[in-house]
Amino acid sequence: MIAVRQIGCAIAVLGMLGGCVTTQSGPTYSVSTGKPTAAADDKLAATLKPGAKPALNTDDAGLRMMYDKAEGKFKTSGNVVRDPEINRYVSGLVCKVAGPYCADIRVYVIRAPYFNATMGPNGAMQVWTGLLLRTRNEAQLMAVLGHEIGHYLRQHSLERMRTAVNTSNALAFFQLATAGAGVGIVGAMGSLVALAQLTAYSRDQEREADRFGHLFLVKHGYDPREAARIWGQLIEEQDAEKEEGEEEETRSVFLASHPLPDERRDTLWELADEVEVREKLTKINEEVYNAVFLPHRRMFLRDELNLRRFARFETLLEMLIEDGKQVAELHYFRGELYRLRNDVGDVERAEKEYELAVEAGDPPGEIHRSMGQIHQKLGKMDAAKGAFQRYLKAKPNAEDVDIIRHIIGKLS
Amino acid sequence: MTAQILARLAFLCVCFLAAGCQTYSLVQPARVTVGDKLSIEPDIAWNKRSIENAEIWTVDGEALQALHLYKGLEDGDTLFVLTNSEKQEKMPQYSKTMSLLELREFIEASIVQSGFTNLKSLKFKPTKFADKDGFRFEFTFSNTNGLRELGFAAGAQSGDRLYLVLYRGAKLHYYGKYLKNVEDMIRSVQLAWASAIL
Ligand SMILES: [Zn+2]
């Protein structure tokens, strides 16, 4: 929360220095070559030059400095995923999209179970693990990366700040910086959210970024329909949540101020349909994507379960089970979902899911502990004891073996 | 930019700076009662403030280390009370029928629902708490600024209540700084009606 406070003040000060600025209408540059290009002929024209460093006394430099400060904080934090393979893969994709701007962008994979990605005007990009759990192939991830890079290339944050300062909406804008603070004893995601909230883009900017995401997919030979599918998947989750009345205020900044998911999905479908060579664009690189992320999916799923957004999680699991990759762990987590939700009939549902997980082969070792708990609930004490013993065998070095032995002792 | 907006921005800044302030009182190293049943004997002085169902103690500030002493959770109580009512609604509720494994899940889910991330369970053991059969488990998580914290919860169910002490602090320095004091203090916990001590 300290970070939030500082960002808030930094913006206030920046706003005071801001003075009069004109909206941007300068030269444009090709995203392929980095050379000047005519915006009218180049749909992917950037408004900033590769490697550009704004003069220190400009509002652009001030804005970047603020983000540099926040980046300095979060890049050393425990929330950054350090796995070298994940980082190499995501950075590689970013460079593929960003071309001559590659060196200007730093991407951080953040362990946070929400569908979110952010882009700072200083080139600091975040991709959250909740997003990586939901994108299903390389094309979908590319669509998101392309979207974020679009924000960067078109300097949307700067544009946004200038609009805010010029229209004396400054207060509302600056308050965004503090919106993540002060939730009970701990706050929301602290500086991460504060930072992301600064990039609350306008709807038109979002539409422009979506178009960039789409054009990048086409440019690199990916199936552009995958961009629309991401939104279709999210809509399914949201609908399930609404039906259950579990809807909470959308914590995902990626969604908050954005055009409605339906609109985005439909527009992206239309864009994809208009592509002349679409039949040739079939690349989705699902295998490459899965090779990088499936080994880590259990951790992503655990984080998601911990949020206890049961309706959403159930829908997500159903989609992933349909995909058919490593289904044992998916059935295990669906069992966990039912066990923790504990509605009428959930104990039996959980039991069935655990059985499916065991049938599928190689489920997480924790499944035996969960089965023990379920048997205990159903009054099957011998079965419970057996399951806990299997847990000890499967996870002899688990952090809770002492308590499990204690529980077995009580069951005897 | 009008002068009015500038003034309001400056005011906002002042608010941010003041927001962290809480009123604390001093706890002297002597046996004290928290709620109606739990008593404990600190060996150093702490700063304390009271919330609805607990007292929060700290030496260096809650952001660096905090000890939550619960007065005894009852059915339907939540571990933390959030100001955001929507988030509060999602807070898991204590139930006296919870098993040891479910108690851990309850505490962990409460930590995650409070906005902490990267939670990882560490050692979980049966242990005495006061004279009751209790438990103790350790965990680690990232706080809202992404810094690593360590923590543990120790407690026992007695009657229909859960008596619990939760200690957490920055992994760098501040958790360890008073860990031994906290451990000693927890060994001093007694569960008895205040009148029975007199
Ligand atoms: Zn966007």
- Calculate how far, in angstroms, residue A148's C-alpha sits from the geometric centre of ligand 1: 6
Digit-coded pLDDT (tens) for A76-89: 877 899 999 999 99
- Confidence at residue B198, expressed as pLDDT on a 0 to 100 scale: 45
Cα separation, B57 vs B28, whole angstroms:
12
- Contact B16/A8, CB-based, under 8 Å? yes
- Calculate how far, in angstroms, residue A161's C-alpha sits from the geometric centre of ligand 1: 15
β-partners of residue B162 are B73, B157
Contacts of A308 in chain B (CB under 8 A): 90, 92, 109, 113
- Contact B12/A185, CB-based, under 8 Å? no
- Contact A248/B125, CB-based, under 8 Å? no
Closest-CA residue of chain B to A80: B146
- Calculate how far, in angstroms, residue B4's C-alpha sits from the geometric centre of ligand 1: 32
- Contact A402/B102, CB-based, under 8 Å? no
Digit-coded pLDDT (tens) for B101-133: 999 999 999 999 888 888 999 999 999 999 899
Contacts of B83 in chain A (CB under 8 A): 182-184
Digit-coded pLDDT (tens) for A332-341: 999 999 999 9
- Confidence at residue B14, expressed as pLDDT on a 0 to 100 scale: 37
- Contact B13/A403, CB-based, under 8 Å? no
What residue type is B67 in one-letter code? Answer: L
- Confidence at residue A248, expressed as pLDDT on a 0 to 100 scale: 55
Contacts of B8 in chain A (CB under 8 A): 171
- Confidence at residue A202, expressed as pLDDT on a 0 to 100 scale: 84
Residue to mutate among A79, A298, A307, A381, with most B CBs inside 10 A, is A79
Centroid of chain to Cα A173: 23
Cα separation, A289 vs A66, whole angstroms:
34
Q: Over chain A, what is the mean pLDDT?
A: 85
- Calculate how far, in angstroms, residue B12's C-alpha sits from the geometric centre of ligand 1: 27
- Calculate how far, in angstroms, residue A141's C-alpha sits from the geometric centre of ligand 1: 14
Digit-coded pLDDT (tens) for B42-71: 999 999 999 889 999 999 999 899 999 999
Contacts of A78 in chain B (CB under 8 A): 118, 142, 146-148
- Contact B115/A186, CB-based, under 8 Å? yes
- Confidence at residue A13, expressed as pLDDT on a 0 to 100 scale: 38
- Confidence at residue B143, expressed as pLDDT on a 0 to 100 scale: 84
Record the tokens describing residue B21, joined without a space.
Answer: 């302030």
- Contact B146/A79, CB-based, under 8 Å? yes
Digit-coded pLDDT (tens) for B163-197: 999 999 999 999 999 999 999 999 999 998 644 44
Give me the half-sphere count of Cα atoms (radius 13 Å) on the Cβ side of residue A276: 0
| DSSP count for chain B of H helices, then E strands | 6, 11
How many CB pairs below 8 A link A and B? 163
β-partners of residue B165 are B69, B154
**How buried is residue B2: exposed, middle or buried, by Cβ count under 10 Å (0-12/13-18/19+)?**
exposed
Q: How far is the alpha carbon of B88 from chain A, nearest alpha carbon, in Å?
A: 9
- Are A152 and A123 spatial neighbours (Cβ–Cβ below 8 Å)? yes
Closest-CA residue of chain A to B127: A403
Q: How far is the alpha carbon of A359 from chain B, nearest alpha carbon, in Å?
A: 25
Higher pLDDT, A393 or B85: A393
Q: How many domains does chain B have?
A: 1
- Confidence at residue A22, expressed as pLDDT on a 0 to 100 scale: 38
- Calculate how far, in angstroms, residue A75's C-alpha sits from the geometric centre of ligand 1: 21
Residue to mutate among A250, A402, A407, with most B CBs inside 10 A, is A402
- Residue of A76, A185, A399 lying closest to B124 (CB–CB): A399
CATH number where B108 lies: 3.40.1000.10
- Residue of B116, B122, B145 lying closest to A399 (CB–CB): B122
Low-confidence ranges of chain A (pLDDT < 70): 1-25, 164-199, 246-258
The DSSP-derived string for B79-96 is SS--SSHHHHHTS-B--T
Contacts of A74 in chain B (CB under 8 A): 146
Closest-CA residue of chain A to B113: A307
Cα separation, A14 vs A63, whole angstroms:
8
Residue to mutate among A126, A341, A381, A403, with most B CBs inside 10 A, is A403
Residue to mutate among B4, B16, B127, with most A CBs inside 10 A, is B16
**How buried is residue A44: exposed, middle or buried, by Cβ count under 10 Å (0-12/13-18/19+)?**
buried
Cα separation, A293 vs A300, whole angstroms:
10
* Antiparallel, parallel or unpaired: β B117-129 and B65-70: unpaired
Record the tokens describing residue A119, joined without a space.
Answer: 């882009």
* Antiparallel, parallel or unpaired: β B32-34 and A36-37: unpaired
Which residue in A337, A278, A279, A331 sits closest to A307, CA to CA? A337
Domains and CATH numbers, chain A: 62-280 (no CATH), 297-411 (1.25.40.10)
- Confidence at residue A371, expressed as pLDDT on a 0 to 100 scale: 98
Which residue in A87, A96, A45 sits closest to A283, CA to CA? A96
Percent of chain B predicted with pLDDT > 90: 69
Question: A264 in helix, strand or coil?
Answer: helix
- Confidence at residue B192, expressed as pLDDT on a 0 to 100 scale: 82
Find all residues with CB under 8 Å of A20, minimum gap 6, and list them: A166
Q: End-to-end distance of chain B based on CA atoms, in angstroms?
A: 66
Whole domain around residue B127: which residue ranges? 3-197
Q: How far is CA A359 from CA A325, B63, B69, in A?
A: 15, 47, 45
- Calculate how far, in angstroms, residue A140's C-alpha sits from the geometric centre of ligand 1: 15
Which residue in A123, A141, A104 sits closest to A222, CA to CA? A141
Question: A1 in helix, strand or coil?
Answer: coil
- Contact A77/B145, CB-based, under 8 Å? yes
Closest-CA residue of chain A to B99: A373
- Confidence at residue A56, expressed as pLDDT on a 0 to 100 scale: 87
Q: How far is CA A252 from CA A189, A226, A249, A256, B72, in A?
A: 11, 21, 9, 6, 35
Q: How far is CA A49 from CA A24, A33, A34, B152, in A?
A: 14, 10, 7, 51
Please state the ipTM of this predicted complex. 0.83
- Confidence at residue A250, expressed as pLDDT on a 0 to 100 scale: 47
